[in-house]
Amino acid sequence: MRRRRWPLLSLLAFGYAFLYVPILLLIVYSFNESRLVTVWSGFSIKWYRELLHNQQLLEAAWLSVRIAAVNATLAVVLGTLAANALVRHGRFRGRNAFELLLTAPLVMPDVIIGLSMLLLFVAMQHGLGWPDGRGFTTIAIAHITFSTAYVAVVVRTRLAQMDASLEEAAMDLGARPLTVYLRITLPLIAPALLSGWLLAFTLSLDDLVIASFVSGPGSTTLPMVVYSSVRMGVSPQINALATLIVAVVTLAVIIAGVTSLRGSRTQRRR
C-alpha cells in the first residue's frame, strides 16, 4: 500500500508557517510605501533611508550590541568557570547549593531579577558611590547575572561528555594543569563556548524587562526604543530595522554552517 504523504507534509507546512510567516510579513511590509503598516501601497525602500537618519534608533542599536557583546564575553568566562567547578571538582562541600543557586536565574521571572538589581544598584550607589548612575554598566551587570546561568548549563553538558582521561593523558605527558586546560580542555569545549556566547548575546539583545529596570537616562536599548515607539504607533522603520537584523543573523548562520560543513568535508577527504 502506498503511504499517503499529504497529512505529514501539510503538518510540516503548518509548522513552518507558524514559525516563519510572521517574520516573512515583517520583511514584506518593511518595503511598503505606505505609512500604515497594514495597508500595502507599493514597493519602496524609503523606510530604510529614513532609518539611516534616525539617530535615536541607531544609537540604541549600537548600545544594545555593545552591551550584548560585553555580556556574552563575561558570561562565557564566568559560566565556564562555574561549569568547571561542577564537573571537574568532584563532590565539594556545598556543591548542591552551588548548583541550585547557579541555575536559579533560569527560572526566575525577569521582573524580579530587574527589580532586585535596581534595588541593589541604588543601595550600592548610596553606600559605595558606585555605580555612578545607571546605564551601560548596570545593564551589562544585570545581563551577566542571568546569562552566566545559561552559559554554565551549555558548557557543563559539553564538559561532562568529554572523556576525562584526555586531561589525565595530557598531564601524564608532562603538561601542567594550566597547559592542560589551554591546550586540551578549551579546544575541545570550544563549540560549547561559542554557542554559549551566541546564546548570551541573543538573550541580552532581546531583553526588555530587566533593561527597563536598570537603565538610566541616555541609555536606552534597542528593545526599549522599539517598545516605546510601537506604543505611539508602529513605524515601518522598525520593520526595516528588524529586517536588517534578520538578514545579519541569517548570514551568520549560513557562514557558520558552510565553514563547519567544509571543515568536516576536508577531514573526510584526507
Partner 1 sequence: MPIALDRRNLDTWQDPKATPYVRIERVSKRFGEHHAVEDLSLDIFKGEFFSLLGSSGCGKSTLLRMLAGLEYPTAGRIYIDGVDVTDVPPYSRPVNMMFQSYALFPHMTVAQNIEFGLKQERLGRGERAERVDEMLELLRIAELRRRKPEQLSGGQRQRVALARSLAKHPKLLLLDEPLGALDKRLRENTQFELVNLQERLGITFITVTHDQEEAMTMSTRIAVMDAGQIMQVDTPTAIYEYPSCRFVAEFIGSINQFEGKVVESDGDQLLIETRLGRPMRVRNFHPLALGTPVTLAVRPEKMRLCLDYREDGVNQLRGVVEDIAYLGDVSIYRLRVEGQRVEMTLTNTQPRTEQVLTWDQEVAIEWSPTSAVVLTE
Other CB atoms within 10 Å distance of the CB of residue 42: 8
Nearest Cα neighbor of 208 from 71, 67, 68, 110 is 110
Contact residues: partner 1, CB under 8 A: 163, 165-166, 168-176, 179, 183-184, 187-188, 267, 270
The rounded distance, in Å, linking the Cα atoms of 215 and 67 is 12
Q: Which is nearer to partner 1, 56 or 259 (CB)?
A: 259
Q: Which is nearer to partner 1, 96 or 165 (CB)?
A: 165
Shortest separation between residue 163's beta carbon and partner 1, angstroms: 6
Residues 6+ apart with CB under 8 A from 166: 184, 188
* HSE value, Cβ hemisphere, 13 Å, CA-based, for 251: 6
The rounded distance, in Å, linking the Cα atoms of 1 and 164 is 51
Q: Which is nearer to partner 1, 166 or 252 (CB)?
A: 166
Q: Which is nearer to partner 1, 38 or 165 (CB)?
A: 165
Shortest separation between residue 88's beta carbon and partner 1, angstroms: 14
Shortest separation between residue 171's beta carbon and partner 1, angstroms: 5
Shortest separation between residue 260's beta carbon and partner 1, angstroms: 14
Q: Which is nearer to partner 1, 3 or 176 (CB)?
A: 176
Residues 6+ apart with CB under 8 A from 250: none
Shortest separation between residue 269's beta carbon and partner 1, angstroms: 10
